Structure formats: structure tokens, C-alpha cells
Amino acid sequence: MASSISSLLVAVLSVLVLAGTARGHPWGGGGFPLIPQFYDHSCPHAKDIVRSIVATAVAREARMAASLLRLHFHDCFVQGCDGSLLLDNSTSILSEKGSNPNNNSIRGLELIDEIKVALEHACPGTVSCADILALAARDSVTLVGGPYWAVPLGRRDSLTANLQASNNDIPAPNNTLPTIIAKFRNQGLDLVDVVALSGAHTIGLSRCTSFRQRLYNQSGNAAPDFTLDAAYAGYLRHDCPRSGGDNNLFPLDLATPTKFDNLYFKNILVGKGLLNSDQVLLTQSGETAALVKAYAADVDLFFKHFAESMVKMGNIKPLTGGQGEVRNNCRRINNHY
């Protein structure tokens, strides 16, 4: 017993020392620290199970990496990283899946279900859905060439969802830069996090409806966005007409859409950021523009900051200790009698 307690204290202290040197901290809302070793004894193969299933899915469809990363982002920005996004509609739940940022847009939910079933078989009632999202996001990034980071674990799952917050708190493609920065700051994130986490758009696809206004009516004057490269705009118009084709898909990074790298930032520098929220990082703030240029010039710096920012984002108001629950099924809260 003494040996086990000593080992746990060493693990906790080592994480706290590391946290002191990073941007952010791994403490949960219940006063318990999130630690990468959380499941080492209760479910020692948890990380391997998640990675194996994610790896199979990404090998089958590279786009799934971006989809899983986006699930974690959209979960954390709404009442914290608590798996609330995964809850379906019920008599007591108004699902976040129906919000404007998520409706007909989020993907990978069935894969999260698959991971949960495997973990419940291996370690019943142990690994939370919120932690599955965090691990799946990290594994997705590394599997397509991005950085690795140790994921602090120990989150618990919410008993509620918040559709209104999902509509209001998640940054939107057409938001102004001040609005985007404010939404990040409301979550305890800073300018470095804004730009570094925007770099997630180095992978994945976006729908025509998310950027159409840049092609035809950026400022309400029936004119395109002058910051968009003219040749690139012509390419986009071919499959993104003034009306119709809302769900036509385009790569967020035209050059390497399935590889996690820094070409997203290089694209922005030449007017080829797909979304308004991408391009304004260069055009509306000297501070964010400096970071765009720094990441375009130094992929290692981008990877370092991205990994740190992912840990910070993953620490947004997690439920820990006796808060919330560990759901048996990520789509619904457990039966409480």
C-alpha cells in the first residue's frame, strides 16, 4: 500500500512540475489534477485501445483525423471538456449536436461509440467519454504527422448539455478576429492559443457554405474578399456557386490536406486561407500576423505551441473527483435510481 501511494505521489508531483513550465495547468474543477497516468492501474491498456481504433479509422479515411480533433474542440468550448457534445436528445437533454456549428457537420460519433464499447469490455465503468475525445484528438494528430503530447486524464462526463452555449461559444468561420479572440479568452486561452489551434486547419475539409460570402459578398456590397488570392477564388467558385452546393467540400489546406504540417500558415501568407477566420489572423492584427509568420517559418515552433495549446484547451473546466459520472454509453447519461 505504502509503495502504491508513494508511486502515485511521484506521478502527481512530476506532472505538476511539468505543468509549471507549460502554458496552463492540469487541475480539474473538482480540485483533482488531471494526470497522463490516471488509467495506468485501473485500465492499463486504455491508451492502446483508443489508438488502435483511431489508427484503423484514419487509415481507412484520412479525413477522420480532422473530424476527431474537431469533436474535442467543440466539446471543450461548451461548458468545458466534459463529453457534453456526445449526448443525444432525450427527455432531459437538448443535444448540442443540433447547434449551428455541429448540425450536419460533426463526424466521428460512431467511432467514439466503437472506442467506448471496446473500453467498456476491457474496463467497465472506468474510462470517461471526455477522456476518449482527448486521447482520440491527440492520436489523430500524431497519426497524420503532427506532434505528440502527453494527454492529462481523469475527466468525468457531464450530466447535462448546453445547446445555447454551443451556438454562442464556439468560434465561427465568419467571426471577426476580435470576436474569435474574445471567445478564446472566455475559455482562458490567449492569442498564442488562437493562432496555434487555428493551425488544426492544416487538415480536414470545409463546406462551401462556410466561406461562400468571401467569394461573392464579403462586406455586403456584392464584392468578393480582396484578401483572397484571385486565382484561388476562381478555383473555389467552380464548385461553390452563389446558390446551391452548400455541402460541397474543399480542403482547408489545398497543398497537403491530409498531412499535419505548417503549410496552412504558408497558405495564409499568400492569400490562400480558406475561411475568413483563417485569413484574418494575418490581416486584422499585428500580433496574430507575427505568429502566423513565425509558424510558417518554423514548423517545430508551431508543433510545440500546438501541443501546449491542446493541453490547455483540454484543461478547460473538466469535471473531476466526484463530479459528473463515467458514462456507460457516451450518448446518454447513466440511469440514476
238 annotated binding-site participant = no
Catalytic hit among 25, 41, 74, 305: 74
256 annotated binding-site participant = yes
Helix (H) or strand (E) holding 206: strand 205-207
- The verdict on whether 74 is a catalytic residue reads yes
pTM as predicted? 0.90
pLDDT tens string 117-141: 999 999 999 999 999 999 999 999 9
Give mean pLDDT, residues 177-202. 98
pLDDT tens string 256-282: 999 999 999 999 999 999 999 999 999
Q: Is the distance from CB of 127 to CB of 46 less than 8 angstroms?
A: yes
Residue 222's pLDDT is 84
Residue 6's pLDDT is 37
> 335 burial class (0-12, 13-18, 19+ CB within 10 angstroms)?
exposed
Average pLDDT, the chain: 92
Residue 39's pLDDT is 98
**Residue closest to 200 by CA, chosen among 101, 68, 57, 317:** 68
84 annotated binding-site participant = yes
Residue 175's pLDDT is 94
Q: Is the distance from CB of 290 to CB of 191 less than 8 angstroms?
A: no
193 annotated binding-site participant = no
